[in-house]
Amino acid sequence: MELRDMKVFIDAGHGGSDSGTTSLDGTTLEKNINLYVANKLQSILSSWSVQTNMTRTGDTLVDYTQVAGISNTWGSDIFVSIHCNAGGGAGGTETYTTRSYSAYDNDLANRIQSRLVTTFGSPDRGVKRTDWSVLVGNNAFCCLTELLFMDVATDIAKLRDSAKLDSAAMAIANALDSFVFANFHNIPA
């Protein structure tokens, strides 16, 4: 089995009336960064013949409590939610999975975390556990990544750099590919 045999659901966090967090100067909104990276990731995966779906492709708000159900109804194999963080002091990258995570969820989160830390050259805040609604009840292998911090000067500079965001999308795509190869390459499609 290869990545192109999997269905990947991409969640661009926030949107519409919910901007998420903002940069300290108020000019950069989390929802826009999340959508940019999600759209770029979708484009990369589609070019690799991977079947994808997204919670949003424009500036709309999807009820967070419905996201896991939407993912399940579509039959997602892998679910990735993309966000940015705030309130982190020194900044950095962190990735979350559910408190009741499987070994696969943990592996997926660690692969994405490692590649994003390398791509951004950011402090590694690690993989953490949570009960956020987009993850809980999601039948797919799932994680939520917090790319960088919107309120840390070195992080926001990277989040405003489209080349860095393109590289982040590629890092996530490569992590997904690595995850599937490491765990499922001996399983027929």
Structure token digits, residue 39: 């759209």
Instruction: Please pick, among 2, 30, 94, 146, the residue that the annotation labels catalytic.
Output: 146
- 30 catalytic? Reply is no
Q: Buried (b) or exposed (e) across 54-90, using 16+ Cβ within 10 A? A: bbbeeeeebebeebbebbeeeebbbbbbbbbbbebee
d(CA 144, CA 11): 9
Which residues make Cβ contacts (< 8 Å) with residue 100, sequence separation at least 6?
Answer: none
In one letter, which amino acid is 188?
P
β-bridge partners, 29: 22
Q: Could you give the residue numbers annotated as active site?
A: 146
